[in-house]
Amino acid sequence: MTDKLSTLFDSGIYWFENSNAVFIDPVRAMNRSYTRFRVSPSAYYPRFFESKPTGQESEVSSNSRKRKRKEKKKKQPHALNEREKIADQRHQEVRPLLLKAHECLMRETDLLEVMSNLRSDFDSSRGCRDSVSPGVPEQSFVELGQVWQAPLYEITLNFDQCEKPNADGGSPIMQYSEQRVLPIFDNLVLNEMGDDVEAEFLNSRYVIPRESSFYMSDLGQIHNLIPADSGCGFNLIVIDPPWENGSARQKSRYPTLPNHYFLSLPIKQLTHTDGALVALWVTNREKLRGFVEKELFPAWGVRYVASFYWLKVKADGSMINDLDLFHHRPYECLLLGQCHRKAMDSKCLSKSKPVQDNQIIISIPGDYSRKPPVGGLLMDYVPGFKPARCIELFAREMISGWTSWGNEPLHFQELRYFIRD
């Protein structure tokens, strides 16, 4: 096995030589957060592994073909308006970088071989996936958090579990040395231990990674995360807002918010004394890019430093859509900025590397709107001492060493997304 592949297996990241591109396997990258569990590849990757039997086509590709035909029809008589021209210019600038990164990927035959098996590699060979009765719906934390009983809901964290033999000779009984029962909403729930912890809420079970915490609330309560002492603030702030867009609305996977709501996010107050690297996921809508550059970053006190691009590919390495499809680009952008509580301190700046612009992150997308874990790629650019204090805003999952905030940060922590190691 090549060194690059063994790094991929260990860290989830494959570094292309002499390139500004990397390939990420989110499953392996996230597994670094867990000791007793592993992220289930088949649960992580519900899409983009379809093979096309001759004479048939997958739903995804047939939909995308319909969409392309529709766009073509629409496109012919339509001249670009001013905003679309700016968007197209941005696209033309990044296009050669994306093509180059994609060529790098297509040259790495050993990586392509691994990619085609990413959904299946260790699902069947290691341990068994906890059986979730088919048809048991996932909890809707968004809905539960809005009902009047929300303050009464509690989560039980079971620390230090061990198996005790069953006196009746039946299957072993789980024993817990400590159980903590805590309000699940509007409360910081912390696993400060060096091991994963299993938690129970209503009839479902969740995995809480080591040294991680979540605060599940609506945007209105986010100020409760502002530390009294800025020395307890965050050095890395990753934000994936529920931007309004046709696709999120149509699919109604989660509620969205108008742009002006995000102006009130207390980014500066969440920033550590040593400063923070702020990473913001944005869609390709030009109106949104303008809003972020002209209003949002200035309102947060964030200085723009660089853009990274997430290129989405299928398991066979091809892009999920044509690169030039106007409203359905196969890439998204991660805007990076720096935030400092006071005037910039040169000592702090010297502790972090300047961010290299235009880096390309290639991965196979997981569930709808799920972003690849970028913490490992950003860590070199994070100011302050290590380990950095990290927070994800509008999170749907947890990471070891991080705080996750949003109205459903436990969404992908449910046991159905894991395999017991």
The residues that touch ligand SAM, with contacts defined as CB under 6 A, are 142, 218-219, 240, 242, 254-255, 257, 369-371, 394-396, 406-408
For ligand SAM, the closer CB: 71 or 218: 218
What is the nearest approach in angstroms of ligand SAM to the Cβ of residue 204?
A: 17
Residue 380: phi, psi to the nearest 5?
-60, -25
What is the nearest approach in angstroms of ligand SAM to the Cβ of residue 97?
A: 23
For ligand SAM, the closer CB: 97 or 118: 118
For ligand SAM, the closer CB: 141 or 297: 141
CB atoms within 10 A of CB 284: 17
Q: What angle do CA 185, 188, 192 make, to 5 degrees?
A: 135
What is the nearest approach in angstroms of ligand SAM to the Cβ of residue 254?
A: 3
For ligand SAM, the closer CB: 235 or 363: 363
For ligand SAM, the closer CB: 273 or 407: 407
If you write DSSP's letter for every residue of 359-407 in order, what string do you get? EEEEE---STTPPPP-HHHHGGG--SSSSPPEEEET-SS--TTEEEEES
What is the nearest approach in angstroms of ligand SAM to the Cβ of residue 414?
A: 13
Q: Are strands 173-183 and 359-363 parallel, antiparallel or unpaired?
A: unpaired
What is the nearest approach in angstroms of ligand SAM to the Cβ of residue 389?
A: 19
What is the sign, positive or negative, of the torsion defined by CA atoms of 213, 216, 219, 223?
A: negative
For ligand SAM, the closer CB: 104 or 362: 362
For ligand SAM, the closer CB: 198 or 408: 408
What is the nearest approach in angstroms of ligand SAM to the Cβ of residue 382?
A: 19
What is the nearest approach in angstroms of ligand SAM to the Cβ of residue 360?
A: 19
Nearest to 190 by CA among 146, 145, 225, 222: 225
For ligand SAM, the closer CB: 64 or 283: 283
* Contacts for 105 with CB less than 8 Å, ≥ 6 apart: 16, 21, 23, 111, 112, 313, 317, 362
What's the rounded Cα separation, in Å, for the pair 400 and 45?
A: 21
Distance of CA 300 to the CA centre of its chain: 22
For ligand SAM, the closer CB: 165 or 220: 220
What is the nearest approach in angstroms of ligand SAM to the Cβ of residue 221?
A: 8
What is the nearest approach in angstroms of ligand SAM to the Cβ of residue 408?
A: 5
What's the rounded Cα separation, in Å, for the pair 270 and 225?
A: 7
What percent of the chain is helix, strand and coil (3-state, nearest 5)?
35, 25, 40
User: What is the total residue count of the chain?
Assistant: 421
What's the rounded Cα separation, in Å, for the pair 379 and 372?
A: 15
